[in-house]
Chains A and B, each alone.
Chain A
Amino acid sequence: MFRPLSLSCKLRTVIAAVFLVSGCGNVAFAAARPSAPAAKAHPDLSGIWEPTSGSMKPHGHPAFTPKATAAMSPTLTPGEAVWGQNGIDASDANCLPRRQPWMLVQSAPITIVHDGNKMILLYEKRSAPMHVYIDGRDHPDENAAAKPTLNGHAVGHWEGDELVVESVGFADHPGHGPLNSLPYLPTLKITERFRLEKNGQELHAQFTIGDPQLFETPYIYDFTWHRLPYRTNYALVELCDARDPARLKY
């Protein structure tokens, strides 16, 4: 039976309830939403994230420059050679902190605390926090007396629901290089693109390692973590004491 169109309370209630459940950002509702000037909420990347099986997916092989090839085959002192045979290096022997990108793509979980203006990434094992500024600031001017740091200077901005983090200004401290045993040079730039997938239960990142002195073309790989339940998981604190003689015995 056909009747004149007039919405009943029941229909209006259903429509309102569905809008409330879907929340903001649902593309299906974009056209039907009232024209209120609300700020778009960005995804919250906070959580404890553990790598999944087969997490790392490189985009082909790295294209090293001759300088990079030479840097990966350094001449060792006799003492360094002894250490190397025992799987020891200066970084491990002295409990020096690890850093990005190496620390982000290991088997242990990472913790991300993200509050809008700032994101901090923490690797569970011996490492330094990675500070990402998402407050609109830029990198220090080239002429500024900015001191190179372990994790570089990292700034982020949103491209849709993807957080793009760019890091420059790395110090060349001992330890794992941006790839293999490559050095951290002033020309290094690391870009990470983070996004949530599978209803926020997976964190995906695409890493781009770029340094014209070391790579003919930037080296790219993807990495995936899955979310650990927050009620039953906590970060393990690794404490390293370089006085422990066991560190020099393998």
Chain B
Amino acid sequence: MINVWVPTQRKLLAAFTSFMTATLLVTGPGSTSMAAVQASPDNRLPGLSGYWRLTDKGTAQPVLTAQAKAEMGKPDRKGDIDVEGARWCVFQGMPYVMDNAGPIEIRQSPAEAIIIAEHLAVPRHIYFHLKRPTADIFDFTPVGMSTGKRVGNGLTVNTDMFANGLGPNGIPRTEKSKLVERFQLLQGGRKLAVTATWTDPGVFVKPYVYTWTYERIPENYTVQEYYCDPRANGVGNYPPGEDPRGNATPQK
């Protein structure tokens, strides 16, 4: 064995530790890939990201209150789409985002998942670690406020603070509506089942539960653009005196 002239182990340990501490202070803990969101726990559902096409809406039917039935029976109701709003390119919100406005795209980061319907411009944000804002400061929207977390082999999402509008099957969606969704992958990730539970004391006699099933679209898909101009739908606003329909445009 060859004896090599070296400092004692203690001196080597001290020197090494000092050097690495200095290096970490200068370069930061690891690459910038680690420095972004140190979110814990990781609530992302592996395999959920991708493109999905709705293929089955099941057959579950709601049990409505008398008040909701009366609302549904009004002459200007036309199913689950706000036709006039759609002509004016008004965002309809939930659950339409998950329905015929697709296909949908889901992308996950450590802090949130977003769901974008191809035929709509406004996405859903599902926050994994957000401290939920309270109703007195949050502006209610057609997609509400969603937070989610991994529970077992699925992602559970809670949404409330909806603005009034059309809910599932044209049922009224009110500021008191609450939605719990369970996202689960099936058949090795080729299918996605989303079980939705709607509650609203003024609308549903009991929770309305249904499961919608989606099929995965290959990842080399190219998202088609959503572009809606109300003038292309026979409505819209024109400069004063230039409405081709001869309407007077409101002026200042």
A: residues with CB less than 8 A from B are 1-5, 7-8, 10-11, 14-15, 18, 21-28, 41-48, 77-80, 82-83, 86, 90, 93-97, 111-115, 117-118, 120, 122, 126-129, 131, 133, 135, 137, 147, 149-151, 153, 161, 171, 173, 196, 199-201, 227, 230-237, 239, 241-243, 245, 247-250
Q: A7-B9, A249-B250, A250-B252 are in contact. Are A24 and B31 (CB under 8 A)?
A: yes
Least CB distance, A99 to chain B, in whole angstroms: 10
Query: Roughly how many angstroms separate A183 CA and B237 CA in the complex, as a whole number?
Result: 21
Q: Are A196 and B225 in contact (CB under 8 A)?
A: no
B59 interfacial contact with A, CB 8 Å? no
Q: Are A46 and B36 in contact (CB under 8 A)?
A: yes
Q: Is the interface of A mostly helix, strand, loop or mixed?
A: loop
9 residue pairs from A and B, CB less than 8 Å apart: A10-B9, A18-B20, A24-B30, A46-B36, A77-B242, A82-B240, A114-B107, A129-B116, A199-B29
Q: Are B20 and A46 in contact (CB under 8 A)?
A: no
Least CB distance, B134 to chain A, in whole angstroms: 13
Interface residue from B6, B17, B34, B236 paired with A23 (Cβ < 8 Å): B34
B1-43 interface mask toward A, CB cutoff 8 Å, 1 = contact, 0 = none? 1011111110011001100100110011111111111010000
Query: Roughly how many angstroms separate A231 CA and B162 CA in the complex, as a whole number?
Result: 21
Q: A115-B108, A128-B227 are in contact. Are A97 and B29 (CB under 8 A)?
A: no
Q: Are B239 and A232 in contact (CB under 8 A)?
A: no
Least CB distance, B74 to chain A, in whole angstroms: 19
Interface residue from B13, B111, B133, B219 paired with A117 (Cβ < 8 Å): B219
Q: Which of A1, A21, A96, A227 has the most CB of B within 10 A?
A: A96
Q: Are B36 and A44 in contact (CB under 8 A)?
A: yes
- Please indicate the chain B residues that have their CB under 8 angstroms from the CB of A28 in the complex: 20, 23, 27
Q: Is the interface of B mostly helix, strand, loop or mixed?
A: loop
Residue on A nearest B124 in the bound complex, by CB:
A237
Least CB distance, B84 to chain A, in whole angstroms: 9
Query: Roughly how many angstroms separate A232 CA and B147 CA in the complex, as a whole number?
Result: 12
Q: Are B237 and A173 in contact (CB under 8 A)?
A: no
| B residues contacting the other copy or chain, number (CB 8 A) | 78
Q: Are A10 and B13 in contact (CB under 8 A)?
A: yes
- Please indicate the chain B residues that have their CB under 8 angstroms from the CB of A234 in the complex: 125, 127, 130, 133, 145
Q: Are A196 and B32 in contact (CB under 8 A)?
A: yes
Q: Are B108 and A199 in contact (CB under 8 A)?
A: no
Least CB distance, B251 to chain A, in whole angstroms: 7
Least CB distance, B56 to chain A, in whole angstroms: 26
Q: Are B227 and A242 in contact (CB under 8 A)?
A: no
Least CB distance, A110 to chain B, in whole angstroms: 13
Residue on A nearest B107 in the bound complex, by CB:
A113
Residue on A nearest B84 in the bound complex, by CB:
A243
B122 interfacial contact with A, CB 8 Å? yes
What 4 pairs across the A-B complex have the smallest Cβ distances?
A25-B31, A79-B239, A23-B30, A200-B35
Q: Are B225 and A147 in contact (CB under 8 A)?
A: yes
